[in-house]
Every structure is written in C-alpha cells, then in structure tokens.
Amino acid sequence: MSGRRAPLALLAIGVVTAATLTAIASSGHLPAAEAATTTFTPSADTHVDNSVPGTNYGTSGRLGVDGSPAKRLFLKFTVTGVTGTIGSAKLRVHTDDVSGATSPSGGTFRAMTDTTWSETGVTWNNQPAIDGATLGTLGSVARNAWYEVDVTAHVRANGTFSFGVTSTNTDGADYDSRETGATAPQLVITTGTTTTTTTPPAGGDPVLVGAGDISDSGSGDSATAALLDTIPGTVFTTGDNVYDSGTASEFASYYDPTWGRHKARTRPSPGNHDYNTSGATGYYNYFGTQAGPSGRGYYSYDLGNWHVVSLNSNISMSAGSAQEQWLRADLAASTKPCTAAYWHHPLFTSGANHAPSTATRPLFQALYDHNADLVLFGHNHQYERFAPQNPSGGLDTTRGIRTFVAGMGGASHYGFGTIRPNSEVRNSTAYGVLKLTLRSTSFDWRFVPVAGQTFTDSGTTACH
C-alpha cells in the first residue's frame, strides 16, 4: 500500500441508506460530530484473498474488497462507556489514496455474529462467516474519500460488533485500515437523539416532524429516519407505517430498524396498509398506548400552545359516528389557541393514484367549526401543499385550514394527475420529512429533503 496521503483539504463523505449512496462535501476534515457522540476505532480489521488462501493481512494498511480475485473485508469494534439510548451508529471508511482504490462498487456491508476472530489469525481458509443482515451497499467510490453506512440496526448497546464486506464487482475497492491512523475506520455512536417528550425543548418552540407511507424493503425509510436523527421533537406519522400488510414481522423487519429508533417520541396514525392485517393488530401491538386508547386509532395531546389530534380514516368518520362525536367533544374541551390534526386518507390531493377521500369531510368539518389551523394527510406518496380551504375546497383566507399531503416517508413515489384548486406546491421525486415549528400564535413549515436531494418548501401561517 502506498504510504502517501493527499492533504485533507477536501474529502467526500458518502451517506448510505440501505442500497443508496449519496456523496456530500466536507472541508478540511471529517464532518463535525453531532452532540453526544462517541467515536470508536476498530479493535481488529483485516481482509482475506482467495488467490492466496493461506495469507493473513492483519498488519496491512489496506483493506480490500473485490469480486475477482475474491476479497472480503472484516471489521470489529468494541463499544464501551456509552450511556443512554443509541440514536444512531454510523460506520465510516476511507478509500486509499491510490488510483486502484476507485471502484464502481464499494461493497455490501453485513452484520456478523462471530466476534471472536483474530486480526492476525484470519485467512481465506479459516475466515469467519458473514452471516448477518445486510446493513448497506456502497455504489461508486472515489480515491481518498470518506464513506458512511448506517449500522444502527446492528449496534444497539455496549458490546463487541463485527462487520463483513463483500463485493461481486471485479473492479474492487481498497480502504485504509486501522494501521493508517487518521484515516482508520470509525464507528460513530450518537446518543440522546431519540429521547424527547411532548414538551417544548428548553428555550424553544415545540417541533412536530414526520411523514407517512414509510417503511418497506427499499431504502427510502432509512434515509428519512436519518433526518429524524438530527431533528428533535415529536414525530407524527400519516399512516401506512409499514408495507405491504402491516404485519408484526413487517414492523420488526422494516419499520423498527429505521423509524423505530424514534418510537418513544412517535405519535402515529394508521393507514389502509396497516389495516391489511385484521384489526391492524400489527400496528396496535407495535405502538401500544402511543396509538391511542383501546385500539380505536384516534387520540389527542398538547404541544406548547397547540392541541394536536391524531385521527383514524380507516373506520367510520360520518357525522354522528363515535369518532366524529369524540372529535367535536375533544375540540370543545381544548383550551389551546392553535389546533392541528393528521390522518391518512386526504380530503384534498392532486395525486394520480388516490382520489380525494370525501368520506373524511365530516372530520374536516368538525375541525373547521372549531377554528383549527393545520391538517396533514398521507396515502398519495408525494408532497403537496394547499392554501387554506374550507371543507368544500374553497379558498378561505379567514377561517380556512392549511393542508399538506406528506406521503414522502420512504415508499416509492406516485405521480400527479389533475391539479386541484388551491394546490400551491407539489413534488413527487424527493423523500423527506415535514418539520413544523409550533409557535405560540403561528406555525412554520419546512420540507426537509434527504441527503442528495434539493427540493424544499417553507413558510409561515398564523393561527386563527
């Protein structure tokens, strides 16, 4: 391995969410760590090569991964002294500063159960099994650059953790080993990002942040969950929390490793896919009391000067129904000057896949009658912002409720059809979360896109 290093004046950092690679720039050094972070270097790292099956590379400065000749890379970290809930764990690797380090495939990173292997003893002939879940896959990598994989699903507490990296590409990649010092692999643990309450942060207004149509076997939910890692506040969901059928195993496999790390601060609402399991038992069992009492799927809570209502658009919403009557009584009892609500099926939407759900109008009417300010929907996998409207969809700048379709949580996007009146902003390509800062007499909104995407939308609306 070449001992030369280019000056650390400009490094690229790749942020990997499942199978997606996005590069971002950093000047002079690694990105600044978030608050309450601890960085670990490997307790062991090496690679093996099937062209020299008896050779050990434990003291090499280079870690290779390749398809032909096959090379496999192994990393081991010992995590100690971490207190509090782990919000995120990021594995960072740095490509070597030689032309051969460039590759169209940086490799697939997997968890391993074997943590007993020895750096100076491993060869191709006696290598440990790479037998755990896939954590991420790097696409094209450049020389002298940092890349990052989200490994939170594997690293949940103090302990020893192994990772294996493989590639089927015949143009392999080379990374720096722990012997190189400053460019050694890193495991960056962030704590404290998931412990929030429904009270405002000290010295600031409360934040409500989230999206709907979230988790499946793709990578979009990992990217949006990474945004939540950096945004404090209460997390909302606008339904279809997991695909395709809302089963307990889908919640465990898809939602829990991503948005699930923010479960303690999440106030969800259910979608039709959550109800593909009879009685939405997967949803109610997963969220427990956070999904509201008695499995009915509607409840309310307060945030600062705001009263917030989570409703269930999968059950009866007609005038006089149990839910509609509860909503009117709940709104009448509130002493807060501002009100927000969210549910899955949109009353207003320009989406091509799902038409406006007129069955939800009695809920919207109750909110309008009690001077509510904000309503959020999901169902169509896109983002759309509407001007303040009355229940019939007419522009109403005096008492109208501003609405958003926030279905960009991770499931594959839908297109737009006929653009509805009063639709102000639309996007069907960016994943992201909607961040709402709930001020004493108004709210600020901001669409926060995932890394590598540029669409955004922001503004302010006063309470009635």
Task: Convert the pLDDT of each residue in 220-254 to its tens digit.
Answer: 999 999 999 999 999 999 999 999 999 999 999 99
Question: Same domain, yes or no, for 239 and 331?
Answer: yes
d(CA 16, CA 87): 16
pLDDT digits 0-9 by tens, 125-157: 999 999 988 888 888 888 888 888 889 889 988
Cβ contacts of residue 87 below 8 Å, gap of 6+? 152, 190, 191, 192, 193, 194, 229, 261
Residue 390 and residue 357 share a domain: yes
Is residue 253 situated within a structural domain?
Answer: yes
- What whole-number distance in Å separates Cα of residue 109 and Cα of residue 12? 19
Q: Is the pLDDT of residue 110 over 90?
A: yes
Mean pLDDT lowest among 84-88, 141-145, 189-193, 334-338: 189-193
Q: 140, 163, 191 — which closes off a domain? A: 191
User: 325 in helix, strand or coil?
Assistant: helix
Residue-by-residue DSSP string for 53-121? TT---TT-SEEEEEETTEEEEEEEEEE-S--S-EEEEEEEEEB-SSGGG-BS--EEEEEES-----TTT
Q: Percentage of the chain surpassing pLDDT 70?
A: 89
- Predicted confidence at residue 98, as pLDDT, reads 79
Instruction: Say if CB 41 and CB 185 are below 8 A apart.
Output: yes
Last residue of a domain, one of 161, 191, 221: 191
**pLDDT higher than threshold 90 for residue 209:** yes
Total domain count for the chain? 2
Give the predicted TM-score (pTM) of the model: 0.60
Let me know whether 220 and 352 are in one domain.
Answer: yes
Please give the residue that has the higher pLDDT: either 322 or 137: 322
pLDDT digits (tens, 9 = 90+) for 152-177: 889 988 999 999 999 999 999 999 99
Q: What is the DSSP letter of 234?
A: E
Q: Are residues 408 and 330 in the same domain?
A: yes
Give residue 197's pLDDT. 36
- The CATH number of the domain holding residue 238 is 3.60.21.10
Same-domain status, 298 and 227 = yes
The pLDDT of residue 273 is 97
DSSP 255: I
Is residue 200 situated within a structural domain?
Answer: no
Structural domain including 117 reads 10-191
218 and 139 both lie in a single domain:
no
